[in-house]
Amino acid sequence: MTTGLFALDTAIKVVVVLAAMLSGALVVIFAELKIGAHMQHRPGPYYAGGRFGWAQPLADGLKFLQKEDLVPNGADSRVFRAAPYLVVSATLATFVVIPFGPDLVVRDLDLGVFYLLAISSITTLGVLMAGWASANKYSLIGGLRAAAQLIAYELPLLLAAVAVVVQAGTMSLNGIVEAQAETFITVGSFDISVPFLLKGQLIGFAIFMIAAVAELSRIPFDMPIAESELTMGYLTEYSGIRFTMFFLGEYLAIISMAAVAATLYLGGYWAPFVPENLLNAAGPLILGAKVALLVFIIIWIRWTWPRLREDQLQDMAWRWLIPLALANIVIAGIFKVAF
Amino acid sequence: MPDSPPERATTADDLAEWADGLAERLGASVISTEFATVRIAVARDRWVDTLRAARDDEGLPFFSWLSAIDWAKETAVGEGPAEPEDLVERYEVLCRLSSVRDASGAHFVAEIPKDDAWIDSIVPVWGGAEWHEREAHEMFGIDFRGNPNLTHLYLPDAFEGHPLRKSYPLLSREVKPWPGTVDVEDMPAVEGPSTENPEA
Amino acid sequence: MTSPELMHRSEVAVSVELQTPDMTLNIGPQHPSTHGVLRLVARVDGERIRDVEPVIGYMHRGYEKLAEVRTYAQITALVNRIDWVAGFANEIAFIRAVETLAGIEPTERAQWIRLILSELARISSHLVFMSSYPLELGATTPLFHALRERERVLDLIEGATGGRFHPNFNRVGGVKPAAGGGSTQKKVSSDLPAGFFAGTKLAMDNVLAVCDDIDNLVTGNELIKARTVGVGVIPGDKAIEYGLSGPNLRASGVGFDLRKHEFILPYDEVEFDVAVAEGGDCYDRYVVRLDEIRQSVRIVLQAIDKVPSGPLQAKVPRILKVPQGQAYVRNENPKGEFGYYVISEGGRMPYRLKIRSTSFSNLSILPWILKDQLVPDLVAIMGSLDFVLGDVDR
């Protein structure tokens, strides 16, 4: 599998992961359209690509690519153009550490979780840049809301992940999966391994998922976009390729967050009763199934609930999620030391 | 609030009696109570006081609307008044107040001369009157003294003229005669079934 | 940040003074949430609104001037375009005003048909509210449920009158007879399409079912409550002061429903409850409207059994000249009290027609209520007032 050259190896892995993830993003876009449609008693896309409309995201992407390149009159042109690329590249960079199998990871960093959360917070910068540089008051309000929201929800995300790190004893994502694969109890002749979700991280998982949806700026936390108030908030002035970048970035981030949650809490690429030597082949499928479940939940929430107001969002983050997450860490620490 | 039994519409006599009592207590006079519409004439200098008393003492707190009528002998568009020779040209400011407990209500009418078209604003009494007075001002040119924001409401700021005055023409009628050429086809004659309710 | 030219363009001809650090935010006239072409010039400080000046008149069509050059029959064709969401309801008060002045009594059958169609219009209008209000708060799904059932109601209205939004069905003395019939014809002819009443019963069942659906999705939802409870409280006396009517007034604790006091349609012969709430906040206005849909369904089901047979239109001269007089007739429109003050000087056209449109008064409270509110609350409050720009601008 390896060519011996580190650079070539890495390049191949990066290309494979990029291709897989970008196609995954298209699949998630299609899933969102179809699932949302069926929840609303309508068929959704059914024209592009035959009866199921599977080619709709592709068609949308191609349409966006051929749109006019608009930069608003008073906009800060360089910042305006740079913002989407910042968001997309930061999101793609998170896929470097996500393990799809014991050996199927671009680079298993020792600082996996740390690197992941740090890099994904660069997207906040991109959003702020977009809001400011658009020379539009709506964009500005959206950008400011985004700044406040994304920064506020970084903390619960981080703290929930820290509790998992404490329990696993390592920040490397591969290591976390292996910690969940360890035998927890032995019943008769069966060694039972339990994912962190059931090993005391139930609240942590809830906190992580809430914070993840907030980091993705999706309903119920989509104040920065708030379509019915700000006509797309910080994205208002973006069209064409740049909008596609933001759009793709959002769906890549959904996959990324879901994959991270699956790895931290649901056992990642590992599943019971799968022999070790098959994990490399079955791993991506197992992880894919878990990611699909979480993505479905995220989409489900989006189409069902209204959005929270900015101050209510902040209230929830600062007064509820962060104290809970801190308590969670303390409890995880106590259990780790005592047992 | 519990359902009160539905009130029968007051007969014309009851209405006239109520209107007389109301006008007397307010120091005004009844113009008419025909067609279930009570109209009470109020002097211009007693406009705000009378309306305030109607709200506080007579149980008519609900501000429904305020508008004006332009009585003119000649009109640029439309039909003129029934007896132009007897008509006194003036503006009438109408304000309708009604009750929120029953169906009673009254229209208070103040006459103002055309060359001295002003009246006190009732915005200090009812905040909701501001928009109504603005509309009457821009449509008729009546000055409402004391209205905090007497700017155009519907019309663009640069608009000149007062459209609802009888002297103001309709531009589309100036440009093209009405009704123009009309194409009329006869309705098809159909033998219809009975008026019993269709099968339920 | 924004160049001086851009700032100036948004502040032309507006009486809001620019002071730092507040920002002047122009909401509308094209905006996803302003129910039409409404422009709000808001002075905001971060997320908090200091004051708001609504700029209306983008849809002003000059109804009152137009009415002075049209005969009463022609005006009937125009007035259903004022509140276009509930088209039929606008015609009722006008035609009753003309009938009052002309001394013509409408036929009984026509009165009941008018009542049924009015209530269908009310259901239609409130279903639009059910769909658009949660959408403004971010919940996208109730829209599809509500509008799906509204289609059934609109199909009924279309089957009876020929138009979904602009029925133009009322005539002086009754409602429009079917083709070939008429007040001057000797033969009376039929009116409602076959199966109308059966279709109505079916549609009412569906409407009740969707009310329950929306109840499940929206009413108990914690997020909806967090966005609407305690937001935009209008006390009862303020509502009376500004002339708020309809569900807006009843949500503030003032249980005044014209259908219980004035009987221009035979509401005294059907049983229904008046929906009242005490709080006066956005949630109450939503709950009152949901309740009103259910009450309207109740009325329609009773009315179906009570419609008498008979002619659809009373005898009316071909060219109607209404005798001299002034009359004000008001109706309980879905959005509130809707009235016409008709001044007739004995001709074929009115001398003056003053339209008391509900949303004009309902909207006038906006500067008062939006002081010191948050921007997201602005959307929630505006949506809860349920106005339509055609009604505001006439």
Q: pLDDT confidence of B6, banded at 50, 70, 90?
A: very low
Q: pLDDT confidence of A293, banded at 50, 70, 90?
A: very high
Residues of C with CB below 8 A from A219's CB? 138, 140
More confident residue, A80 or A274: A80
Q: What is the pLDDT of residue B193?
A: 53
* pLDDT tens readout for residues A176-216: 888 888 776 666 676 677 777 777 788 889 999 999 999 98
How near does any CA of chain A get to the CA of C127, in Å?
Answer: 16
Spatial separation of the C-alpha atoms in residues A29 and A44, rounded to whole Å:
12
How near does any CA of chain C get to the CA of A74, in Å?
Answer: 6
Spatial separation of the C-alpha atoms in residues C69 and C351, rounded to whole Å:
9
Range of the domain at B132: 12-73+84-169
Q: Pick the range with the lowest mean pLDDT from A221-230, B95-104, C8-17, C328-337.
A: C8-17
Q: Is residue B99 one of the residues assigned to a domain?
A: yes
Q: Residue B20: is its pLDDT beyond 80?
A: yes
Q: Is residue B16 one of the residues assigned to a domain?
A: yes
Beta-carbon separation of C137 and A223 below 8 A: no
Alpha helix segments (H runs only) across chain B:
12-26, 47-56, 129-140, 171-175
* pLDDT tens readout for residues C201-260: 999 999 999 999 899 888 888 888 988 998 889 999 899 999 999 999 999 988 899 999
Q: Residue A329: is its pLDDT beyond 50?
A: yes
Residues of B with CB below 8 A from C196's CB? 198
Spatial separation of the C-alpha atoms in residues A207 and A229, rounded to whole Å:
28
Q: Residue C9: is its pLDDT beyond 50?
A: no
- Grouping H, G, I as helix, E, B as strand and the rest as coil, residue B71 is strand
Q: pLDDT confidence of B178, banded at 50, 70, 90?
A: low
Q: Which residue has the tokens 């921007």?
A: C375
First to last CA, chain A: 41
CATH classification of the domain holding B51:
3.30.460.80
Q: Pick the range with the lowest mean pLDDT from A37-46, A230-239, B60-69.
A: A230-239
Q: What is the pLDDT of residue A319?
A: 92
Of the candidates B39, B101, B190, which has its C-beta nearest C179's C-beta? B190
Half-sphere exposure of C101 (CA within 13 A, CB side): 28
Q: Residue A230: is its pLDDT beyond 70?
A: no
* pLDDT tens readout for residues C264-286: 999 999 999 999 999 889 999 99
Closest CA to C350 of C61, C100, C103, C64: C64
Of the candidates A73, A74, A306, which has its C-beta nearest C224's C-beta? A306
Q: Residue C355: is its pLDDT beyond 90?
A: yes
Pairing label, strands B118-120, B143-145: parallel
Q: Residue A290: is its pLDDT beyond 70?
A: yes
Query: Any chain B CB within 8 A of the CB of C93?
Result: no
Domain count, chain B: 1
Q: Residue A43: is its pLDDT beyond 50?
A: yes
Give whole-number Cα distances, C201 to B200, C24, C206, C207, C309, in Å.
9, 51, 9, 10, 19
Q: How many CB pairs (< 8 A) connect A and C?
A: 96
User: Looking at residues C357-362, what average pLDDT do you find?
Assistant: 92
| Per-residue exposure over B2-24, b if at least 16 CB sit within 10 Å of its own CB, e if not | eeeeeeeebeeeebbebbeebbe
Closest CA to B174 of B77, B65, B54: B77
Mean pLDDT of all residues belonging to chain B: 82
Q: Is residue B118 one of the residues assigned to a domain?
A: yes
Which residues make up the CATH 1.10.645.10 domain(s) of chain C?
63-356
- pTM comes to 0.86
Closest CA to C142 of C126, C119, C122, C120: C126
* pLDDT tens readout for residues C151-210: 999 998 888 888 888 888 888 888 887 654 445 544 444 567 778 889 999 999 999 999
Domain boundaries, chain A: 70-338
To the nearest whole percent, how much of chain B has pLDDT over 70? 83
Beta-carbon separation of B195 and C258 below 8 A: no
- Grouping H, G, I as helix, E, B as strand and the rest as coil, residue C373 is coil
Mutation target for C interface from B96, B186, B197: give the one with most C CBs within 10 A.
B197
Judge: domain C63-356, CATH 1.10.645.10: yes
Mutation target for C interface from B31, B154, B178: give the one with most C CBs within 10 A.
B154
Q: What is the pLDDT of residue A222?
A: 81
Partners for A (CB, 8 Å, 3+ pairs)?
A: C
With touching defined as 3 or more inter-chain CB pairs under 8 Å, the answer for chains A and B is no
